[in-house]
Structure 1
């Protein structure tokens, strides 16, 4: 063989080897990095089961421990498998209606079955839990396996029973019961009908964080074996006659447990399938939902459809990890996944009014989600967020008020201001659009209604105290408010939040060319200053913190009241609407002193200048006063940007991620609140954080070498690149930056970055630089010279 031929042969073999290596290299599978069990312990309350993006049906195993989201990895017992849940909410467990439970009756005697929830509770094998987008399964310690997948309004289960025999050697008959309850045992009354291989009915329930009640309907059908018998059960006793039941709550705090059952001959495969449709309209519609969405009981096909839906949603983000650990990647992708579990798309399932507009539910609550979750959807799923905004406006059209919190067709409790105003303003300033345009004139009408008209029951919509707000320019402690009724508390936090609500309204007015509205609400946006007491001090355990000047309550006559600035912090007790109402909501004056998103420049001056402002921020984050597991703390992590020290924001981010936000089952410092904690994590890790209601993202280096976002509407890709990225995170400080190849000195950027598909390159180093520190490079504030908003 000639040398030339030998070289050619070697070249061909080398090329072939490279081709084989390239072909063998595994493609990136995002599901490898989605862990639905993050936050399923330690109060994260995350929904871990099978769902579509924003899906109404949500199937998972329910436990008797931390069951606010249904399932927990806390080692508690399984009490059922139900078809609707919310994710990450605090307080009472939510939904979990009409659970199924599979079991054998001892010796095949019906009266030996455990129908009551407490009696049937069964441990599960922790190692058996499998959760992936659109799928969930586990095995009970008795050997029964359950796996489930979902469509938009229906769930499909496979229950596999091991072979068991009675004392006489006969094979036991699998039984599946349906319980007319929910996770919170809030059922008021219910009906059930068992016919053939199906069970259908409805129940009236109470929402977990709101007023009123709602009716839910179900339609369950079973296949896989012949039926041995069926009937109803009440109080741990069952009978094959009658087949219908109406049950009320019970009396004297006695909760009447009841439901239906079907018992089967055990099939050779051991598997019995259950198809459950749910509806807020009727049992007939629940049956149609199941029949139309799961016509052929194709478990693998339904599972794949769900997986495809999730892959499409997640595909708009891409990462060059640059050596970042698998744990960090899991934390990141799992967080993005959780931002799209809720709010839930109930379009076609709203019996309260007739409309062609979308209807979204499970806004738990806008006080939580306006800060980062909904702004994150502006980037990754603008079409769906546009539909959510239209849903909020349609609710205003039919009920007269924008919702502040909404779940299960019911009005939820208002926690602070009228936070839909911020959501709508954020969408407006970022030019949010979808297949159907948002009616911005209607939007302005709706937010002005919040600002000008007080509802009778402002505990669950609108604002209270508007007479005082307009006359005194603050919300007084012990306000005299005869126009409407709500908890007479939160005077400080509502003053601060109403100020920002009005600022957001001013931005919409300005954009619509309404000069009078812009001027009016800009003036009211400065009302926060009226509760600042310049000589107020703060102590911890009798020791002066060294800082003077804090917000304080003020009465109708203009005299000062007092609330200890550390009250409602982790150092001095939690303050809620019901158990401990104070003048701030769910956090302290120490935290709320930084809630002036519209005018940090004025706040910095008021608190003594940049050096003192930074000292206060440092003290907040290092003294135990801040609760990073609660949403008011989110923006404070990045407020160093406004004082010209963006590197300190980066430093603070790395003190929380992954220390408090990580890829473990206990990896959330508080309940996820429908994806609030998830979106905070995702924003921190992509290197941009929003000041919602404004066209502002605060820049901090991503946790990866680069992160890209393909805009779902234009397909333009926006990319943030770290030059000199170090996966050990020594190089985390921006030295200089370019935007589309040109020098960029601002420490913030607008939403055009995503809309136009820009490239932001950040050169990193080990030490703080002067990048982004100059006054002209700081984010805008109402009063900052040359930076009027």
Structure 2
């Protein structure tokens, strides 16, 4: 018996030691990323939970307040139940509660409280803080769908709990139902980044409360309050040290859903047991990867990174599987879990590939969610949030997640339906895709961010081709493999950069460091390596491995300042390499392709050592829903997915002393710094089936057509192939050729045109024709001169001052570059007709995009003069467009005047001024955007 007790004691000791060794939640520091530009939040959440219960220190929608919290702040406005992790746009902050004492106020400036970081604590699944104003201790924890609050009132008196539905985003509809003295139901429909968000909540107080103050601009019918201004204070007497516990169950579907979620996850009244359950949930997820290091900071950085990856996507269905679809109808998820918050432009690169290694089941759930969103919303998600498609960022990168899962043998979703959804999304006519399909690239004339969209669509097309290969769809494979080569049309062989094209030619002036509207959150340096689907092809285009190695060296050696537009996302610069934003994330691994893995190792180690810290500003850029952290995790393991869709990794030297990865099949992979690269390359996918490559046609790149877009009497036209082996054919159509049938003829040498002409050309090699390049060259409609007495923004020149009198009108999409922009100043221009002209009608054209700070001028004045010195006011045209109108629109400020003769015309447009308080950019200077000035 004694021996049995001894064995039992030893066994318990082993179990407890093992249990302690599994406590990876202890290393999580939720404050990492809450400072700097990380945009994370410190509050309580369980892995992939619907509830993110966190303090809000920002209610202004500022960029560094996207998550609702910033470490530099000292005031808390309340604790809300939804938050975004590391995004670049502000949203969420639903169902906000705030405890106060004394006379209740519904003014946020009055119910908010100072706090100190000394009295603040955050761990995985738990948050606490002392509110200084009323000496209230707040503790928060959560399950997937229920937030648990514990408020300790350290003074006796009247305790208030403020429910403010006007918190952060715009309230479209609100409702509060008083069920009984301890139970409240809440509905909130709001608009922010996601323009039509629905959330329901059931709130249960641990003691009876009564309404002591209310703000209601709608109906008040017995115990139901509605409106678009809606806030209530719930009050009760408390003794010194008394606690009030509050449980909040949320649901995307309705009050019934919130009630079911409360029954399933909100029955406990034991705060500590829920806190321990949350920590246990985190331990279960975090223990999928065990790392050993004597450096506790490195352990904290690693496990916090894993914590951030597991923070989203978020479960978005009730406990019974009911969810709100993309069409706002209700559905039941059968056999999978339905999720929201898909930051796919970021996460396809690293976060989703990491999940294919350690969470294959959840990966299939994500893809089943994609398929349902396609069926209910018409296309795969781009950046889906709360059953809304925000259309933020570019590409159709859900196809990358799908192709990667299929290539790695992940089951649990319908491959055929996933392919159907992917092909459908690639065949739409939105965001430049119509031009991309027709011309095999996007030019500035077609769509803004043309370079980034072209190269990212090309990668996505390669992903669809890989699906087609797996499914045996030969024609689809050949079609999308050819499209995947479209990057070649923007690769300038003269300089090795991905360069925008405009009107058939390379866009000039060109500076690869310039951040402008031809790229997405970046410049040409960042996107000139974005051919993940065909690195060997990119190397060949550069002239071989040695020259491509020099090109990789060059990005790290370039000056570490960008030019052009200020872009807050571009951070963590090593030369022009930007670790703080996603397009750079694969570049250091490209040295592997030129036989220089030691250079990959050197760069990756430098980034791991210097750009990730155990501090609030420990992330060098936005967390971006786990991508910044996923890069860290994969790189410390010694792997990275340069090409999601290939069942292999690119490799580097592992960072930790020992790493154990526990896979879902029950096996464990152990990695040390001595693990071979060949072993790492197939890590986790050793038994994946290889599919035989099929033949496909090589793309012939479209030629470049160069001439003066606007000319006086004549201009020389030169056509150049992008491959010297190509033959060229061209055709011209001038103003008199409208009904003339013309055919293409061989191009031999430059030629001259002397009238407004459209030139078309294509290249041919080995029987494969390129798409047709088309360019328009305009003979000036007048020979006026113009002097602009204002400073043009160098990003918005439209080609120079003559653009205002060239007869070419800008598109409503001002990002294409056909509008002139002037910020913080009135605009004035003087046109010299060179001789007196008769005038009866004057006009100038302006654009408004209020969200982009571009507002109509307050008024436009027209003056005439014969000598250029003495001017007479002819007409004043006042603005009639509401500056709050966010519709992008063009308005002609025109005036019919009595017949007047003059040599000079002065046009003066008065800018709006500083942006007012209601504007997101309040305090900034408004722009005037104008295009054509016309005289009749």
TM > 0.5 fold call: yes
Question: 1:64 deviation in Å?
Answer: 2.6
Instruction: Sort the Cα spacing of 1:392 and 1:268 in 2 relative to 1 into closer, same or farther, 3 A.
Output: same
Aligned counterparts of 1:82 and 1:590: Cα–Cα separation in 2: 40
Aligned counterparts of 1:502 and 1:528: Cα–Cα separation in 2: 11
Question: 1:560 deviation in Å?
Answer: 2.7
Question: 1:114 deviation in Å?
Answer: 3.1
2:97 corresponding residue in structure 1: 100
Equivalent residue for 1:233, pick from 196, 200, 214: 214
Aligned counterparts of 2:88 and 2:226: Cα–Cα separation in 1: 32
1:477 corresponding residue in structure 2: 444
Instruction: Sort the Cα spacing of 1:746 and 1:306 in 2 relative to 1 into closer, same or farther, 3 A.
Output: closer
1:711 corresponding residue in structure 2: 663
Question: 1:62 deviation in Å?
Answer: 1.2
Question: 1:138 deviation in Å?
Answer: 1.1
Instruction: Sort the Cα spacing of 1:298 and 1:754 in 2 relative to 1 into closer, same or farther, 3 A.
Output: farther
Aligned counterparts of 2:250 and 2:596: Cα–Cα separation in 1: 52
2:422 corresponding residue in structure 1: 447
1:778 corresponding residue in structure 2: none
What SS does the corresponding residue of 1:300 show, helix, strand or coil?
Answer: helix
Equivalent residue for 2:50, pick from 38, 41, 56: 56
Aligned counterparts of 1:568 and 1:213: Cα–Cα separation in 2: 36
Equivalent residue for 1:84, pick from 82, 89, 99: 82
2:39 corresponding residue in structure 1: 45
1:619 corresponding residue in structure 2: 554
Task: Say whether residues 1:356 and 2:356 are aligned partners.
Answer: no
2:28 corresponding residue in structure 1: 34
> 8 Å contact 1:98–1:181 — kept in the other structure?
no
Task: Say whether residues 1:192 and 2:160 are aligned partners.
Answer: no
1:390 corresponding residue in structure 2: 368
Task: Say whether residues 1:203 and 2:188 are aligned partners.
Answer: yes
Tell me, which stretches of 5 or more residues in structure 2 are unaligned? 1-8, 561-575, 690-695, 699-936
> 8 Å contact 1:417–1:498 — kept in the other structure?
yes
> 8 Å contact 2:96–2:167 — kept in the other structure?
yes
2:924 corresponding residue in structure 1: none
Task: Say whether residues 1:402 and 2:377 are aligned partners.
Answer: no
Aligned counterparts of 1:299 and 1:594: Cα–Cα separation in 2: 51
> 8 Å contact 2:200–2:251 — kept in the other structure?
yes
Question: 1:30 deviation in Å?
Answer: 0.9
Question: 1:70 deviation in Å?
Answer: 2.9
Deviates more, 1:53-62 or 1:133-142: 133-142
1:498 corresponding residue in structure 2: 457
1:566 corresponding residue in structure 2: 512
What SS does the corresponding residue of 2:645 show, helix, strand or coil?
Answer: coil
Aligned counterparts of 1:361 and 1:231: Cα–Cα separation in 2: 38
Question: 1:751 deviation in Å?
Answer: 4.2
Aligned counterparts of 2:607 and 2:650: Cα–Cα separation in 1: 17
Instruction: Sort the Cα spacing of 1:694 and 1:232 in 2 relative to 1 into closer, same or farther, 3 A.
Output: farther
Instruction: Sort the Cα spacing of 1:561 and 1:226 in 2 relative to 1 into closer, same or farther, 3 A.
Output: closer
> 8 Å contact 1:135–1:148 — kept in the other structure?
yes
> 8 Å contact 1:699–1:749 — kept in the other structure?
no
2:257 corresponding residue in structure 1: 285
2:350 corresponding residue in structure 1: 372
1:246 corresponding residue in structure 2: 226
Instruction: Sort the Cα spacing of 1:90 and 1:418 in 2 relative to 1 into closer, same or farther, 3 A.
Output: same
1:72 corresponding residue in structure 2: 70
Task: Say whether residues 1:702 and 2:654 are aligned partners.
Answer: yes
What SS does the corresponding residue of 1:203 show, helix, strand or coil?
Answer: strand
* Deviations 1:334-391, CA, capped at 9 Å, x for gaps: 1111111100111223252424344544434210110001111111211111101111
Aligned counterparts of 1:421 and 1:491: Cα–Cα separation in 2: 20
Instruction: Sort the Cα spacing of 1:755 and 1:129 in 2 relative to 1 into closer, same or farther, 3 A.
Output: farther
Equivalent residue for 1:270, pick from 220, 223, 242: 242
* Deviations 1:66-92, CA, capped at 9 Å, x for gaps: 432233322331000111112111122
Aligned counterparts of 1:146 and 1:685: Cα–Cα separation in 2: 37
> 8 Å contact 1:553–1:563 — kept in the other structure?
no
Task: Say whether residues 1:340 and 2:310 are aligned partners.
Answer: yes
Aligned counterparts of 2:392 and 2:113: Cα–Cα separation in 1: 38
Question: 1:614 deviation in Å?
Answer: 2.4
1:422 corresponding residue in structure 2: 400
1:177 corresponding residue in structure 2: 162
* Structure 2 length-normalised TM: 0.66
Task: Say whether residues 1:326 and 2:300 are aligned partners.
Answer: no
Aligned counterparts of 1:196 and 1:24: Cα–Cα separation in 2: 47
Aligned counterparts of 2:371 and 2:330: Cα–Cα separation in 1: 13
Question: 1:513 deviation in Å?
Answer: 1.4
2:123 corresponding residue in structure 1: 132
Instruction: Sort the Cα spacing of 1:563 and 1:213 in 2 relative to 1 into closer, same or farther, 3 A.
Output: farther
* Deviations 1:475-499, CA, capped at 9 Å, x for gaps: 12212xxxxxxxx301111111111
Equivalent residue for 1:148, pick from 140, 146, 155: 140
Aligned counterparts of 2:368 and 2:421: Cα–Cα separation in 1: 12
What SS does the corresponding residue of 2:371 show, helix, strand or coil?
Answer: helix
Instruction: Sort the Cα spacing of 1:53 and 1:641 in 2 relative to 1 into closer, same or farther, 3 A.
Output: same
Aligned counterparts of 1:563 and 1:585: Cα–Cα separation in 2: 19
2:778 corresponding residue in structure 1: none
Task: Say whether residues 1:162 and 2:140 are aligned partners.
Answer: no
Question: 1:682 deviation in Å?
Answer: 0.7
Tell me, which stretches of 5 or more residues in structure 1 are unaligned? 1-15, 164-170, 249-255, 459-463, 480-487, 536-547, 570-574, 576-581, 724-736, 739-743, 757-780, 784-789
In the TM superposition, what are the counterparts of 1:461-540 in structure 2 within 5 Å? 464-479=431-446, 488-535=447-494
Instruction: Sort the Cα spacing of 1:618 and 1:289 in 2 relative to 1 into closer, same or farther, 3 A.
Output: same
> 8 Å contact 1:702–1:720 — kept in the other structure?
yes
Aligned counterparts of 2:315 and 2:40: Cα–Cα separation in 1: 18
* Deviations 1:303-354, CA, capped at 9 Å, x for gaps: 2222222111122212232x3x111111111111111110011122325242
* Structure 1 length-normalised TM: 0.78
Question: 1:602 deviation in Å?
Answer: 1.7
Aligned counterparts of 1:21 and 1:443: Cα–Cα separation in 2: 47
* Deviations 1:111-163, CA, capped at 9 Å, x for gaps: xx332112222121212222122211111123211111112211110000112
Instruction: Sort the Cα spacing of 1:24 and 1:694 in 2 relative to 1 into closer, same or farther, 3 A.
Output: closer
> 8 Å contact 2:468–2:474 — kept in the other structure?
yes
Deviates more, 1:684-693 or 1:351-360: 351-360
> 8 Å contact 1:313–1:381 — kept in the other structure?
no
Task: Say whether residues 1:687 and 2:670 are aligned partners.
Answer: no
> 8 Å contact 2:79–2:98 — kept in the other structure?
yes
Aligned counterparts of 1:295 and 1:24: Cα–Cα separation in 2: 32
2:682 corresponding residue in structure 1: 749
Instruction: Sort the Cα spacing of 1:442 and 1:22 in 2 relative to 1 into closer, same or farther, 3 A.
Output: closer
Equivalent residue for 1:675, pick from 600, 620, 626: 626
Instruction: Sort the Cα spacing of 1:747 and 1:197 in 2 relative to 1 into closer, same or farther, 3 A.
Output: closer
> 8 Å contact 1:361–1:408 — kept in the other structure?
no
RMSD, aligned CA: 2.8
What SS does the corresponding residue of 2:65 show, helix, strand or coil?
Answer: coil
Aligned counterparts of 1:664 and 1:782: Cα–Cα separation in 2: 52
> 8 Å contact 2:638–2:680 — kept in the other structure?
no
* Deviations 1:514-548, CA, capped at 9 Å, x for gaps: 2222222111111110112223xxxxxxxxxxxx2
Aligned counterparts of 2:577 and 2:232: Cα–Cα separation in 1: 49
Question: Number of matched residues?
Answer: 650
